[in-house]
Amino acid sequence: MKKIIYGLWVLFIALNFSACDRGGDDDPIHIFKDKYTLEDQSVIGVEVQKYIENTPALFPSLDRSTNVELYNYFNTLVTTLTNTTAIESRDAFDWELTILKDDQTRSAFSAPGGKIFIYTGLLKFISGENELMSILAHEISYVESGKVMKNLQAQYSEDDFFLGDILLGKQVEGMDQLCMTLKNMTYQKQEVIEADNFSIDLMCPFQYNALGIKTIIDHAAQSTAKVLWLEVRPGDAARLANIESRAGDCGDEEDPTFAERYESFKEKLP
């Protein structure tokens, strides 16, 4: 009987922590987890955000204290989208946006735990609040569905301890590469379409014109500017047709894009 109980205990440890090395003071020095809880993802997201906002050489973030109005505007939009019953992780994650000051990079990306990052290059490229909301909702989808965490685990499958070690609260090497991995993370065609659908469904009750991603794609097709966000979240005719079909009658007749309101805030971008 004792052998059976011991065997079950070993199995429990193996399922929850595939590897755990301890130092001389009994504190774990390495952890590898097969499954990351919402709390784990939140910790990883906070560390990613902290690293990005404190590494201006790689990620020149816009200072929050001197850009209060801008951050209030953008994060109000994030809160509007995430504070709904459609977002099951709305209470588990501290959803927050960080603005990255780089006019040549037209992109946005997300990290586990509800952290979203968007470059001024993309903010200045788009022309309506509905387009911004479409981008935000699209990125929220990858976090809410767990796809960003799943893809991150796949990227680090050969570096068993790295992601788990972040949870220990100790400084780990390679955060720069992890953040760059998130910035350039690509998604499969079906994943992109699923994120579009999620984005449209999330926006529609707020009466926005839900064709924002389509108009961004159309704008990019007529421009010589490189739009990284569309390169790592690729689209084709099937994607455009799906957006048009899914959007249906979303939006109102008065001002579905809220372009003027968005332009007033875009002018405040440095």
Statement to judge: residues 21 and 132 lie in one domain? no
Please give the angle made by the CA atoms of 132, 181 and 202, to the nearest 5 degrees.
30
pLDDT tens digit sequence for 218-270: 999 999 999 999 999 988 899 999 999 999 878 765 668 999 999 999 999 99
Q: Which residue range forms the structural domain that includes residue 153? A: 37-158+171-266
Contacts of 123 (CB under 8 A, 6+ apart): 99, 132, 266, 269
- Torsion on CA atoms 147, 41, 99, 262, rounded to nearest 10: 60
On whether both 110 and 195 belong to a single domain, the answer is: yes
| 27 and 47 both lie in a single domain | no
Task: Tell me whether residue 99 is in a domain.
Answer: yes
* pLDDT score, position 253: 58
pLDDT at 168: 84
Asked if residue 245 and residue 180 are part of one domain, the reply reads: yes
Question: So what's the pLDDT on residue 235?
Answer: 80
The answer to the question of residue 164 being in a domain is no
Nearest to residue 266, comparing CAs of 95, 60, 110, 69?
69
Is residue 130 domain-shared with residue 216, that is, in the same domain? yes
> Considering its fold, how many domains does the chain have in total?
2
Please report the pLDDT score of residue 3 as a whole number: 46
The residue ranges of the chain whose pLDDT is under 70 are 1-32, 159-161, 252-255
How far apart (Å, rounded) are the C-alpha atoms in residues 217 and 240?
8
Q: Does 101 lie in the same domain as 42?
A: yes
DSSP annotation of 22 reads E
Q: What is the pLDDT of residue 4?
A: 46
Cβ neighbour number for residue 270 with a 10 Å cutoff: 11
Do residues 99 and 220 both lie within one domain? yes
- Which residue in 14, 56, 36 sits closest to 166, CA to CA? 36
